[in-house]
Amino acid sequence: MFKKLFKIFGPIIFALLIIFLLLISPFNYGLKKVSNDNQKKAAVSLDNKIIKDKRIKEQALGQSNYVAFFGSSEWSRFDPMHPAVLAEKYNRNYRPFLLGAKGTQSLIHFLNLQTITNNLKNKKAVYSISPQWFVPKGIRKDAFNFYYSPLEATEWLLNESQTPMDQYIAKRFSQLLDPNSDHVLHQTFTRIENGKRPTKFQLLYIKMRHQLLLNEDRLFSAIYISNRNEKKVKEFTKQLPPTYDYNKIYDLAGELGKQNTSNNRFGISDKFYRKQIARKVKRFKGFQAKEKFTKSPEYADFQAVLDTFAKNNTDVIFVLPPVNQQWQKYTGLSQQEIQNAVTKIKFQLKSQGFNHIVDLSNDGDIPFFMTDTIHLGWRGWLYFDSAVRPFLENHHRPPHYQLNDHFYDRKWQQAKVDQIVNFK
């Protein structure tokens, strides 16, 4: 009976064993580099797979021309003035590698950074940060778990060294990660949060899990990458003048904005208004009147990102976008509350040596600046480009950062604007 069973199941068990050994072995299997075409697709795909994985990002950002653009859902608002379109049309010496989608905030970008830190050493990056990330509870649990990458998490665990940042990140991961997703990692986060090193078993597990995930990434990450957004970029380049002329493009942005915002009084694109707002517009009146952005764990989450940038001497330009002012008035969203968040964000940046800041938070009333309620479009993208392009193309002094661990404290997370001078 045993021989019969072995003949039936033996080859299957043997094959599974071979696959398992291949997946946990530290070899690259002679894999070819990700093709330039696939890198180009990935740079604008905004796919969750690209956000979570390592191989494609690592290879693209390892080249001199790709620049990491961290942000959220704004990157999906393609039009002729989108940064990826302008860079493609005018053959600039950089290409944005877009990292972000709806719901990605500082903790997701912290994870993102873990697998590409070597590719950002002494380089530049762009970081779009919305004051509306800084809600009282910070990033939503469902968004965190959707974008959470165990590969990036194990990469961080292999390098953690009991710093205040590490202990804070372990605490946040314990709070947010689904406890059923990985019991061993959850237990490890708890130990690090409490100032303890992982056990020998936990370290062995982390190393094996990391190698398994790394090999999966090497084998499968580039199998299929959508070219949908790459096609959009190419199509939009056709609408731009053959040579870069700011005034011509500004006028074109106004024309396109006017053509595409004809069915509502908010300056919102017709398509977005029709699909997302028109049927329930009355429900939105005054619904944001009580929203607050001054007290939030997001400030400490953001500090972990700054800490990582500083360790790699990454020179970063930070862009703070506005809210569509007509929509803001209708929903009752307080501009003062937005400015309070902007003040805290800018203080946290400048006090630590992050001096490249583009503050667009008061520009939401410029015609055709926004494509919808909270996202840049047309002229907004052109303002964005006018600030970011010189930063990326010109040489200037390397950054000099002075990090302050007090920004991980709950006192800072909950600090009012008139209290921020105490954090030095």
For the stretch 252-262, pLDDT in tens is: 999 999 999 99
For residue 421, the model assigns a pLDDT of: 77
Residues ≥6 apart with Cβ < 8 Å to 255 = none
Around Cβ 352, how many Cβ atoms within 10 Å? 20
For the stretch 28-82, pLDDT in tens is: 544 568 888 999 999 999 999 899 989 999 999 998 799 999 999 999 999 999 9
**Distance (Å, rounded) from C-alpha 424 to C-alpha 422?**
6
Contact call for residues 271 and 262 (beta carbons, < 8 A): no
Contact call for residues 188 and 157 (beta carbons, < 8 A): yes
What are the structure tokens assigned to 37, written together? 């075409």
What are the structure tokens assigned to 403, written together? 């990090």
pLDDT, average across residues 294-321:
98
Predicted confidence band at 398 (pLDDT cuts at 50, 70, 90)?
confident
**pLDDT for 7 beyond 90:** no
For the stretch 183-208, pLDDT in tens is: 999 999 999 999 999 999 999 999 99
**Distance (Å, rounded) from C-alpha 260 to C-alpha 416?**
40
For residue 189, the model assigns a pLDDT of: 96
Burial label for 98, CB within 10 Å (0-12, 13-18, 19+), is buried
**Distance (Å, rounded) from C-alpha 190 to C-alpha 180?**
14
Residues ≥6 apart with Cβ < 8 Å to 314 = 120, 121, 122, 123, 124, 125, 399
**Distance (Å, rounded) from C-alpha 77 to C-alpha 100?**
12
Contact call for residues 114 and 213 (beta carbons, < 8 A): no
**pLDDT for 107 beyond 90:** yes
For the stretch 409-419, pLDDT in tens is: 999 999 999 88
**Distance (Å, rounded) from C-alpha 282 to C-alpha 260?**
22
With a pLDDT cut of 90, the percent of the chain lying above it is 83
For residue 24, the model assigns a pLDDT of: 53
**Closest C-alpha among 416, 402, 394 to residue 349:** 402
For residue 26, the model assigns a pLDDT of: 57
What are the structure tokens assigned to 20, written together? 């398992």
**DSSP conformation letters of 309-320:** HHHTT-EEEEEE
Contact call for residues 321 and 130 (beta carbons, < 8 A): yes
**pLDDT for 15 beyond 50:** no
For the stretch 170-185, pLDDT in tens is: 999 999 999 888 999 9
Domain range holding 110? 2-422
For the stretch 226-280, pLDDT in tens is: 899 999 999 999 999 999 999 999 999 999 999 999 999 999 999 999 999 999 9
For the stretch 144-169, pLDDT in tens is: 999 999 999 999 999 999 999 999 99
Q: What is the dihedral of CA 52, 57, 59, 62, to 10 degrees?
A: -130
For residue 359, the model assigns a pLDDT of: 98
pTM of the model: 0.92
**Distance (Å, rounded) from C-alpha 166 to C-alpha 179?**
19
What residues does 127 pair with on adjacent strands?
70, 318
pLDDT, average across residues 325-348:
97
**pLDDT for 138 beyond 80:** yes
Number of domains in the chain: 1
Helix intervals (H) in 82-136:
83-89, 106-114, 117-120
The one-letter code for the residue type at 227 is N
**Closest C-alpha among 173, 156, 47, 40 to residue 99:** 47
Around Cβ 130, how many Cβ atoms within 10 Å? 23
